[in-house]
Amino acid sequence: MQSLDEAVQSLSLAMQSLGEAVQALFLAVQSLSLAMQSLGEAVQALFLAVQLQQRAFAVFLRCIPVFTDLIEDWVVFLDVKINRRENEKNMEDEKKQKDLEKALSLIHNENELLRLPYISHKPKDDRQIVTLSYRKDESKDLTMVVLLDDSNFIETDSNQGSLSSGSYYSADCINKSTDLKIEIIDLIVRHLSFPDLLKSVFDIENDLINALASIHKYFILLEYSIRHKKDYTIPSLVINELEFAFGNHRSFYDLVNRIIRDVNQRYNGVEIKDSFRKNAQQADSVLHDKYKLPSAIIKFYKAKENVFMALRKIRDDIYHHGKSIDYILRMEDGFGIRVSSYKPKLLASLDFWAEGKLKQNGVGSILPIFALLAKDMFSTTTFLAGALINCFKDLPEDITTGYNVFSRNPIYPHFFRLQEYAEQQWFDPSIVLNEFRISEIALKNGGRDEPENGSRDKA
Q: Which residues lie below 8 Å from residue 397, measured CB to CB, with a gap of 6+?
A: 121, 123, 191
Residue 437 lies in a domain: yes
> What pLDDT shows up at residue 459?
27
Clarify whether residues 402 and 272 are in a common domain: yes
Residue 360 lies in a domain: yes
38 three-class SS: helix
Q: Which residues lie below 8 Å from residue 169, measured CB to CB, with a gap of 6+?
A: 118, 132, 133, 134, 135, 400, 403, 404, 405, 406
d(CA 398, CA 389): 13
d(CA 135, CA 130): 15
Clarify whether residues 354 and 215 are in a common domain: yes
Residue 150 lies in a domain: no
Clarify whether residues 273 and 386 are in a common domain: yes
Written as one letter, the residue type at 184 is I
Q: Classify strands 179-180 and 166-170 as parallel, antiparallel or unpaired.
A: unpaired
Clarify whether residues 297 and 417 are in a common domain: yes
CB 325 within 8 A of CB 242: yes
Clarify whether residues 291 and 419 are in a common domain: yes
> What pLDDT shows up at residue 22?
75
Clarify whether residues 88 and 183 are in a common domain: no
Q: Which residues lie below 8 Å from residue 17, measured CB to CB, with a gap of 6+?
A: none
Written as one letter, the residue type at 309 is M
> What pLDDT shows up at residue 13?
79
The DSSP call for residue 269 is S
d(CA 309, CA 306): 5
Q: What DSSP element (H or E) covers 410?
A: none
- Say how many residues make up the chain: 459
Residue 112 lies in a domain: no
CB 109 within 8 A of CB 134: no
| Residue 56, domain extent | 1-98
- How many CA atoms are closer than 13 Å to the CA of 212, on its beta-carbon side? 21
Residue 121 lies in a domain: no
d(CA 369, CA 315): 13
d(CA 385, CA 180): 15
Residue at which a domain ends, from 98, 117, 132: 98
> What pLDDT shows up at residue 402?
86
Split into its structural domains, the chain has a count of 2
Residue at which a domain ends, from 98, 130, 161: 98
pLDDT tens for the chain, 459 residues long, are 667 777 777 777 777 777 777 787 778 778 787 878 878 777 787 777 777 777 777 777 777 776 676 777 676 666 666 766 766 666 665 555 555 544 445 555 566 666 777 888 788 888 888 888 888 776 667 887 766 555 566 666 655 446 788 899 999 998 888 899 999 999 999 999 999 999 999 999 999 999 999 999 999 999 999 999 889 999 999 999 998 999 999 999 999 999 999 999 999 999 999 899 999 999 999 999 999 999 999 999 999 998 888 888 777 776 655 566 767 899 999 999 887 765 555 565 666 776 788 888 888 899 999 999 999 999 999 999 999 999 998 889 998 888 999 999 999 999 999 999 999 999 999 999 988 776 565 555 555 554 443 333 322
Residue 42 lies in a domain: yes
Helices (H), 322-412: 342-348, 367-390
d(CA 326, CA 314): 14
Residue at which a domain ends, from 81, 98, 115: 98
Residue 154 lies in a domain: no
Residue 281 lies in a domain: yes
Clarify whether residues 182 and 94 are in a common domain: no
CA dist list (Å): 207 to 365, 377, 390: 23, 9, 25
